[in-house]
């Protein structure tokens, strides 16, 4: 599959685990957030790092036979959905949703994509009930660290569209 040239960056929506201002990729298991489990398996002593606050991060693949990310036949790359779910789930207190802008090499799937480069552009103003850590300012701390706005749902979608191509899912 050869890559087509596209005119704009691609925008999408995803969730992270937010801790002390950092946005971490990871999984949610039984109400808990586990940052970057793939990295934890190959290098248990390496601390997970949050998404950077600048543009200088290229996606990496943590598979044993590594390759440039994203690869068509892998799950690597910065991933997001084309559409924000009607009722975004917050499976753990750390869970936050937001929009990203992606560029470089992008593998486009049926309902989302994986990209070589990406950065968060805004966060959804939706917080997990019962999240009392960080003095109830988890979202505000992350938004301030990344210098991005905290927006209501409709505003977030409009803001994302302004930053690039928003594909229909």
Partner 1 sequence: MGDIGKPIRETERPAPVRPAEPDVEPVRAPPKPEPVKT
Task: Record the tokens describing residue 164, joined without a space.
Answer: 């690039």
Tell whether residue 102 is a contact of partner 1 (CB under 8 A). Answer: yes
Query: Residue 40 or 134: which CB sits closer to partner 1?
Result: 40
Q: Could you give the CA distance from residue 88 to residue 95 in angstroms, rounded to a whole number?
A: 10
Task: Record the tokens describing residue 86, joined without a space.
Answer: 């009607």
Q: Which of 24, 38, 40, 103 binds partner 1 (CB under 8 A)?
A: 103
Q: Is 55 helix (H, G, I), strand (E, B) or coil?
A: coil
Q: Which stretch binds partner 1 (CB under 8 A): 35-43, 100-108, 128-136, 142-150?
A: 100-108
Tell whether residue 24 is a contact of partner 1 (CB under 8 A). Answer: no
Q: Give the CA distances from residue 82 to residues 25, 69, 160, in Å, rounded to whole numbers and listed in that order.
A: 17, 19, 11
Task: Record the tokens describing residue 32, joined without a space.
Answer: 């808990």
Q: Which of 23, 69, 101, 150 binds partner 1 (CB under 8 A)?
A: 101
Which residues of this protein are in contact with partner 1, per CB under 8 A?
A: 1-10, 14-15, 25, 55, 72, 79-81, 101-115, 117, 163-164
């Amino acid at each position: 599959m050869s890559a087509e040239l596209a005119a704009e960056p691609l925008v999408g929506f995803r969730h992270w685990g937010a801790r002390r201002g950092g946005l971490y990729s990871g999984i949610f298991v039984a109400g808990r957030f586990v940052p970057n489990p793939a990295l934890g398996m190959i290098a248990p002593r390496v601390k997970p790092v949050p998404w950077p606050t600048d543009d200088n991060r290229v996606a990496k693949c943590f598979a044993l036979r590594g390759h440039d990310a994203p690869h068509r036949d892998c799950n690597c790359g910065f991933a997001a959905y084309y559409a924000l779910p009607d009722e975004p789930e917050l499976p753990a207190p750390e869970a936050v949703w937001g929009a990203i802008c992606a560029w470089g090499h992008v593998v486009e799937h049926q309902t989302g994509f994986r990209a070589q480069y990406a950065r968060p552009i805004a966060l959804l103003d939706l917080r997990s009930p019962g999240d009392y850590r960080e003095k109830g300012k988890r979202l505000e701390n992350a938004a301030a660290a990344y210098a991005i706005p905290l927006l209501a749902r409709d505003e977030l979608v409009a803001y994302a569209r302004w930053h690039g191509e928003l594909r229909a899912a």
